[in-house]
Amino acid sequence: MTVPPSLDVRGLAYAYPDGHQALFGVDLTIGRGERVALLGPNGAGKTTLVLHLNGILAAGAGSVTVAGLPVGRKHMAEIRRKVGIVFQDPDDQLFMPTVREDVAFGPAAAGLRGAELDAVVERALARVGMAAYADRPPHHLSFGQRRRVAVATVLATEPEILVLDEPSSNLDPASRRELADVLRSLDVTVLMVTHDLPYALELCPRSLVLSEGVIAADGPTREILADDALMNRHRLELPFGFVPGSVA
């Protein structure tokens, strides 16, 4: 039996109530287990696209399918378990007295209890290297640790696809590397929305460039970052002195 892709978007168009057209017909497919970066300038439609993946926004035209399920009212509860979004600010996701309770929140809401719930929480924290901090208040952790706990809160629901919004923002170099190690070790599909092009190259073999509401490029991250004309056309800039070909 053929495994359906984690994400299939066809002809997705969307205009906000004020008339601003954010997406003009987006087509993309992400296979099971891929790590893909979504690149593009501010205002390109990246956030609008992400909010369609778990039904926060509903398509004006076109379709979004997650693991073979069409995103819509009928499958909404299951879709929201399958699409885990990790926001840019971990404090938007961490609100319980302890790390353990934060990670347990989603699975408990889905009906898990007792030893089964404890096992899910322990597994999610172990996957991000934060098992030793289960009983700490989240606000006592460093920013990088809080971001990894935020990832754990999503992993606890066993998603099909992990969507990360600017995962490297505000991280010091050590925290950035620790998070990269975690993301590389995960056996889930990853869609990483980022302006951090070196991080995209480090973690995502494939990149999509979203520009003016359409997919303007889709290919190996290294090739996209090395295409000066493409980069200039879509207002993407590498850090000074960074050469994509120099990264192993």
Alpha carbon distance 22, 45 (integer Å): 5
Query: Do 244 and 238 meet the contact criterion of CB atoms below 8 Å apart?
Result: yes
Q: What mean pLDDT do residues 171-188 have?
A: 94
Is the pLDDT at 140 greater than 70, yes or no?
yes
Q: What is the pTM of this model?
A: 0.93
Domains of the chain as residue ranges with CATH: 7-238 (3.40.50.300)
For residue 150 the two structure tokens come to: 């935020």
Query: Do 159 and 82 meet the contact criterion of CB atoms below 8 Å apart?
Result: yes
For residue 191 the two structure tokens come to: 């869609």
157-178: pLDDT as tens digits? 999 999 999 999 999 999 999 9
Is the pLDDT at 150 greater than 90, yes or no?
yes
Alpha carbon distance 67, 116 (integer Å): 25
Is the pLDDT at 242 greater than 90, yes or no?
no
pLDDT of residue 194: 94
Q: Whole-number mean pLDDT of the chain? A: 92
53-105: pLDDT as tens digits? 988 888 679 999 999 999 988 888 889 889 999 999 999 999 999 999 999 99
Alpha carbon distance 102, 13 (integer Å): 35
In sequence order, the 6+-apart residues with CB closer than 8 A to the CB of 78 are: 69
Alpha carbon distance 185, 27 (integer Å): 28
H-run or E-run covering 208: strand 206-211
- Express as a percent the part of the chain with pLDDT over 70: 98
Burial of 44 (0-12, 13-18, 19+ CB in 10 A): buried
pLDDT of residue 41: 87
